[in-house]
């Protein structure tokens, strides 16, 4: 009869015998120790940032941005309310461009942040970290008729399954930059 492995994972931390390890080293050669309840392994990255100067105005691509708690992007025309930041998935945009056999840049979607490696579908209420920034997902962004100005039929193609992205509320003052890691916070932590 086989015995149970003593080093199996269960919940937070690493189970060793009857106790749960509360921290771990990032690598064998690292002296840095991380608390298991605070560690959120990066699963994606921030690929682009756009700021909208005016309603229906152009989207300015920037390499970094300042976000203000309960306001949104500093310098953006749309601050406050629940739709402080609009998010778009790189993978979804690529699928849409393949569907239409087009190569329109993702900035045409008019979102503020382009994320790679993070699925936004059905994430209402979850907290997403972009670097040290915390964003609470408020819901799905339904695409407007302006998407049909980009490509005829794009609005309808973006409508199902959160393909238009998500909107979020900013939970803390923070500066972000392209390349920042992106990860979901674990609920109940």
Q: Tens digit of pLDDT for each residue in 98-108?
A: 999 998 888 88
pTM above 0.95, yes or no: no
Q: Give residue 33's pLDDT band: very low, low, confident or very high (50, 70, 90).
A: low
For residues 128 and 121, is the Cβ–Cβ distance under 8 A?
Answer: no
Q: Tens digit of pLDDT for each residue in 41-88?
A: 558 999 999 998 877 778 899 999 999 999 999 988 776 677 899 999
CATH C-level class of 44-184: mainly beta
For tokens 């309808």, name the residue: 156
List the chain domain ranges: 1-39, 44-184
Q: Give residue 6's pLDDT band: very low, low, confident or very high (50, 70, 90).
A: very low
């Amino acid at each position: 009869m086989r015995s149970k492995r003593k080093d199996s994972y269960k919940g937070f931390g690493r189970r060793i015998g009857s106790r749960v390890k509360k921290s771990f080293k990032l690598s064998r050669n690292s002296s840095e120790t991380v608390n298991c309840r605070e560690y959120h392994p990066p699963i994606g990255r921030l690929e682009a940032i756009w700021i909208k100067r005016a309603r229906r105005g152009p989207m300015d691509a920037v390499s970094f941005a300042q976000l203000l708690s309960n306001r949104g992007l500093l310098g953006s025309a749309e601050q406050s309310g629940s739709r402080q930041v609009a998010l778009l998935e790189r993978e979804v945009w690529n699928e849409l461009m393949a569907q239409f056999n087009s190569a329109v840049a993702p900035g045409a979607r008019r979102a503020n942040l382009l994320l790679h490696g993070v699925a936004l579908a059905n994430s209402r209420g979850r907290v997403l970290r972009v670097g040290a920034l915390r964003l609470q997902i408020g819901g799905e962004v339904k695409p407007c008729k302006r998407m049909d100005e980009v490509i005829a039929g794009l609005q309808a193609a973006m409508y199902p399954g959160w393909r238009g992205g998500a909107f979020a509320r900013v939970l803390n003052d923070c500066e972000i930059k392209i390349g920042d890691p992106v990860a979901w916070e674990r609920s109940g932590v």
